[in-house]
Amino acid sequence: MSELGRSNRKGALAAIVAALLLAGGVQAQAAPMDDMPGMSGKAGAEGAKQQTASATGTVAAVNASQHKVTFDHEPIPAINWPAMHMEFPAAQSVDLSKVKPGEKVKFTLSGSKGSYTVQSIAPAQ
Ligand SMILES: [Cu+2]
């Protein structure tokens, strides 16, 4: 009898913990949408829809071994981004050996939500 009572209590506790975890999970998923208000409308029911955007900025760093590039980029209205300093993975077609820190460039991005890949980099005029 006492054995049964203990296992029932355990079960109830597990259900409460599961409910709390679930509530936390829902909140965590909702948060990125607040950061990117421009995306929620366009993505619609399709969810993580691919978007492309072009931007200008200054090359801050090139990570050849990981094929990544860091920009101090200007605002990107197409994806609702303010000016930022950030690192992006670059597509394999992008030749990072031609990209030098301090260079002012135009670049294009494609991706969805907070995850974008650089598709091209060209010198800015
Ligand atoms: Cu950014």
Q: Which residues contact 90 (CB under 8 A, 6 or more apart)?
A: 67, 68, 69, 96, 117, 118, 121
* Residue 13 confidence (pLDDT): 55
Domain limits at 84?
A: 46-123
* Residues 61 and 12 occupy one common structural domain: no
Whether 114 and 63 share a structural domain:
yes
60 & 105 share domain:
yes
Query: If you measure from the C-alpha of residue 73 to the centroid of ligand 1, how many angstroms do you get, rounded to a whole number?
Result: 7
Q: What is the pLDDT along the chain (125 residues), one digit of tens a residue?
A: 555 555 566 665 555 555 444 444 444 333 344 444 444 444 444 557 899 999 999 999 999 999 999 999 999 999 999 999 999 999 999 999 999 999 999 999 999 987 999 999 999 97
Is 102 found in the same domain as 58? yes
Ion ligand 1: residues, CB < 5 A: 81, 84, 86
Distance CA 53, CA 119 (A): 10
What's the gap in Å between 74 CA and the centre of ligand 1? 8
Ligand 1 center to 44 CA (angstroms): 22
41 assigned to some structural domain? no
